[in-house]
Structure 1
Amino acid sequence: MTKATILILGSNATQIELRGGGSATIGQYLNETVVPTLALIDAGYDVVLATPNGTKPIIDAVSETVDHFGGDQAAYDRARRFFADAPQMNDVQTLRAVIEGGLDRFAGVFVPGGHAPAVDLMQDADAGTILRHFHAAGKPTALLCHGPVAILAALPDAAAYRAALIAGDTARAAALGQDWIYAGYGMTVFSANEEKIAEAQLLGGELYFDMERALKTAGGEVSVTATNFAPNVVVDRELITGQNPSSDHQLATALVEALDRALATA
């Protein structure tokens, strides 16, 4: 018997726009998806994976490396097998289906990273409905690396907000970001400096906006490490955010601890 069920919000995005035209191939990161998920399962929780269109997320090829698992070949192999074969990673629902099935059945929500959430989840209306539910209920809401930009989906018009960021219209974005439910929350996300490295070494071009600015413009109190890619997790009320791929284990620990506390006081 499991302690409770946790909702995982996955992304279906496989391309992200680059400044000046063109796009880069993206997806979710393997370690960012599997490390927290396995930690939840190992701690006695069940998980349900849902995406905007109900198909399984695509793993970003650049994350398919043992380096993201601390050089631990066994951990990397376990992650690959789990994502490929586990029922929890293959029985995927749509975001709309989990809403219609009732969100009260979930004790918390987790959003993995990779660039993908910055394309679809951050402007998805159903993702916004889900996040507003967990915020109102004060249930643990954990997001990793680029995943924290998904909380912008809770804005009244998240698609317009993202469009304003792409257009470079900071004033319009700030206006659209008024009364965001996460304004004033402490949080972290893949840093602007880390993004410059990713743009040069992985994406082959410049993004229209960095994740720090996307969250700060709506009122997020964003903090990042002075050292690129150093682990960093920020917890503020129900919100748990991790900065980068190397924050996977720390975020998983913080999420499990928050869930266990919530169960103990229920």
Structure 2
Amino acid sequence: MSRGKVLVVGSNATRIEIQGGGTGPTGQYLNELVVPVMALIEAGYDIVFATPNGSKPFIDPVSDQAVHFGNDEAAHKRAQDFFASHPAMNAVITLRAVIDGGLDQYLAFFTPGGQAPVVDLMQDSELGEILRHFHAHEKPTAYLCHGPMASLAAMPHAREFRAALIAGDNAKAAELARGWQYAGYRMTVYSSSEERPIEDNILHGKLYFHMPEALNIAGAEVDTGPDFAPHVIEDRELITGQNPRSDEPIAKALIAALVRAPVDA
């Protein structure tokens, strides 16, 4: 018997803006999506997978490597097969369909990383509506790596906030962030120092903003741990993990939060 539904929201972005014009490749990280989802299913939860346009996310090739699975080739293959063929990964619906179907049915929320959520999810108005529901009802809400940037969609002027960050107008961004539901929350996110190798070797350019800076401007209390070491922070209903190596710890934390949550949450 199912223990209830968890909403997993992915990104449809495949490119991200870099300074000076142009874009670099991006996507979702395979392990960050699959490892927590597999753990949730094993724990007895049903997964509803949604993206803005209802199509499967693009997996960043950088993440599709055994190194992100402890150099375990078999674990990597299981993850590839799960993403390719498991019904939970293929019955993707739109965010609008999630809203229209009723948000009360979901016990918890999860968004994985890769830089993709920084492009679309952090400024998606439909995601904002979803997140405001989860916040108001204090339902466990988890984000991994770059995923915490999606939480910014809950603010009243998310699109304008992102535009101000790209323009380098941090004062305007801070003003636009007023009313953000997660202001004052402790959280973690992919650090600036972890980002630099991606900028240098993958994007071949600099992002317009780094994740801790953006969340701090919005009002979060950001705490990043050592680079590429597991790091998870829980504050009230919010659960955040810093980087790809936080995939298993955030899954455990989310499942524990679900077990603790009231039945009628």
* TM-score bin, normalised by smaller chain: over 0.9
Structure 1: gaps of 5 or more residues: none
Q: CA deviation at 1:179?
A: 1.9
Matches within 5 A, 1:151-170: 151-170=151-170
Cα offset, 1:203, TM superposition: 1.6
1:58-207 paired onto structure 2 within 5 Å: 58-207=58-207
Q: Could you state the TM-score of these two structures normalised by the residue count of structure 2? A: 0.98
What are the superposed Cα offsets for residues 148-173 of structure 1, whole Å, 9 maximum, x if unpaired?
00000001010000000000000100
Q: CA deviation at 1:263?
A: 4.9
Report what 1:16 is aligned to: 16
1:165-200: CA deviation from partner (whole Å, max 9, x where unpaired): 000000100000112110000000000111112211
SS in 2 for 1:104: coil
How many aligned positions are there?
Answer: 265
Q: Tell me, yes or no, if structure 1 residue 220 matches structure 2 residue 202.
A: no
Give the Cα separation in 2 of the matches to 1:70 and 1:46. Answer: 26
Q: Provide the C-alpha distance between the structure 2 equivalents of 1:223 and 1:197, rounded to a whole number of angstroms.
A: 20
Shift of 1:61: 0.6
SS where residue 189 of structure 1 aligns? Answer: coil
Provide the C-alpha distance between the structure 2 equivalents of 1:107 and 1:74, rounded to a whole number of angstroms.
Answer: 31
Task: Report the CA distance between 1:206 and its aligned residue.
Answer: 0.4
AA at the equivalent of 1:41: I
Percent identical: 60
Question: What is the TM-score normalised by the length of structure 1?
Answer: 0.98
Give yes or no for contact 2:25–2:202 (8 Å, CA) kept in 1: no
Equivalents in 1 of 2:68, 2:180: separation in Å?
33
Consecutive unaligned residues in structure 2, runs of 5 or more: none
The DSSP-based 3-state class of the residue aligned with 1:201 is helix
Q: Deviations over 1:93-137 (max 9, x none)?
A: 000000000000000000010000000000000010011100000
The residue number in structure 2 matching 1:249 is: 248
Q: Which ranges of 4 or more aligned residues in structure 1 deviate by more than 2 Å?
A: 263-266
CA gap of 1:192–1:106, structure 2 versus 1, over 3 A, is same
Provide the aligned C-alpha RMSD in A: 1.0
Superposition deviation, residue 201 in structure 1: 2.1
